[in-house]
Amino acid sequence: CKSCIDKVWDSEKIPSCPECREVFLFKRYAVNWQLCKAVESSQRSQQYEKEEIPNQEQKSHYLLGSHECTEHKEVLKVFCQDDGCPVCVICMISSKHKGHTFIPILEATSMFQDKLKNTVSSLEVKMKHLKECQSKQEQNISAVKDDAQSLEQHITSEFAKLRQFLQDKEQQMIQQLKVEAAEILEKMTENLDSIEEMNKAIQKDKSSIESTLQQKDPLLFLKGITDETKSIMKRTKEETKVDICESWIPKKKRKGVFNGEPYTGRLRLGVYRGPLQYRVWKEMLSVVNPSLSHLTLDPNTAHPGLTLSEDLTSVTYGASKLQFFDNPKRYDSH
């Protein structure tokens, strides 16, 4: 400080620097601005520690005074717009920032605060838009889930109808087959009973004839032989007459002993085997909703390169174009 320098110079005949001992010809003071700023900064810092800052503006000034340039130890008072950083007064006049634009720190703070506020406003608008999009997307997701559930129920219901139709048709055909098989088996069983009765009657006649043949006495053998022979011949003639004149009568109603034949009834394989799936599929069309219908083509819109059938249900493509009357509905390009 000046008082310290005066004390040193008063004690010396030739004045010199108290620190580096450089000799001066004349006693002339040079202000050390860097030291001055450091002292002022230290004093402000000490003062702030003792006193409470009354308002935000004074707090800002204090905060500015508490930040120093790392190179010059000066308070950062201005903002370099070119480099985008706060600088001190010495930096401002240095060659490093030559030609740059500077504004006060508080003005720069206000400017960037306004920019950030505008940015926040813009972000709020985007957030609002995103929330709307989010809400719509959630509604779309919910709608798709509802549609999927509804369609799943619809598919289940439609296939249930088809399955019910097939099950009913299956039971109907099985019942029909059982009835038909029962009728055939009944006829076969009755015919089998008739054959067994015929066999018993023939066995009885055979046993009677064999017993007669064992007779050794000629008189006893001839006794009653005429009646027995006539009886056997009569049954034979009656059976032959039935075969010729009453062949339309079912075998179970025919009389006689010599007409036993197996009943050859058969199940209708064409009904129960054959193209079964195709026939059932055609019957299934009755439960299809909407029912199938023929497609009718419109000749007024047909491309000149297309040929329609007379019933307008089929189309073919030809290399040569046909002559049609002009129609505004006609397609003239692919």
* pLDDT given at position 48: 52
Q: Which is it for strands 85-87 and 315-317: parallel, antiparallel or unpaired?
A: unpaired
Q: Please report the pLDDT score of residue 54 as a whole number.
A: 46
Phi and psi torsions of 300, nearest 5°: -75, -20
pLDDT at residue 126, as a whole number: 94
**Sheet containing strand 85-87, strands side by side:** 85-87, 78-80, 102-104
- Residue 52's pLDDT is 45
Cβ atoms of 5 and 18 within 8 Å: the answer is yes
Mean pLDDT by 10 residues, the chain (334 residues): 72 70 69 66 58 45 62 86 88 86 88 91 93 94 94 92 91 93 91 86 81 77 74 64 41 45 80 84 78 73 78 74 59 59
Other Cβ atoms within 10 Å of 191 Cβ, number: 19
Q: What is the pLDDT of residue 151?
A: 93
pLDDT for res 43:
66
Quote the pTM value: 0.45
User: Which residues lie across from 14 on neighbouring strands?
Assistant: none
